[in-house]
């Protein structure tokens, strides 16, 4: 069956348990909807820092560049933010690339994260590699 006729929808609860910093009572969720070759990714954040810019990224299985940056998410004066990203299947995984999870970050600090399909340890692996990189930078100084 052609991918142009496919449709699927997934909801992901973004969890604070993967956070690398304390960020108050921030909450978030995301909806991934595939309609044919297009993928619509909607990210919602509540109780975030007021009028702040967060980075939204996907974790992939690519060892050279494990992070796919989707763009920015802006919060309002109430700490709420919503952003929709429109991608194609080719941008997400057409060349053997497999997306594992989604991250909400402020600079390099992870505030929320969630797995798209199954919990395979890729978020934890990225966090530990990030921590190792930070430790190596400190020892080089």
- Fold of the domain spanning 3-140: Immunoglobulin-like (2.60.40)
pTM for the model stands at 0.82
Residues 6+ apart with CB under 8 A from 49: 23, 24, 75, 79, 106
Beta strand pairing call for 99-106 and 109-115: antiparallel
| Tokens found for residue 132 | 């190792």
Per-residue pLDDT of the chain (141 residues; tens, 9 = 90+): 445 568 889 999 999 999 999 878 999 999 999 888 888 999 999 999 999 999 999 998 777 778 889 999 999 999 999 999 998 877 665 555 578 899 999 988 999 999 998 898 889 988 888 877 654 454 455
d(CA 67, CA 54): 15
For the chain, the domains span 3-140
Q: In what order do the strands lie in the sheet with 7-14?
A: 7-14, 27-35, 38-46, 81-88
């Amino acid at each position: 069956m052609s991918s142009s006729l496919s449709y699927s929808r997934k909801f992901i609860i973004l969890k604070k348990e993967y956070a690398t910093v304390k960020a108050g009572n921030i909450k978030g969720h995301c909806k991934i909807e595939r309609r044919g070759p297009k993928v619509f990714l909607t990210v919602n954040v509540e109780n975030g820092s007021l009028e702040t810019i967060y980075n939204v990224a996907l974790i992939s299985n690519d060892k050279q560049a494990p992070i796919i940056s989707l763009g920015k998410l802006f919060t309002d004066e109430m700490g709420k933010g919503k952003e929709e990203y429109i991608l194609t299947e080719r941008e997400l995984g057409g060349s053997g690339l497999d997306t594992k999870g989604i991250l909400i970050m402020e600079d390099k600090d992870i505030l929320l994260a969630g797995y798209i399909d199954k919990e395979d340890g890729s978020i934890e692996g990225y966090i530990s590699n990030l921590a190792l990189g930070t430790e190596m930078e400190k020892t080089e100084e």
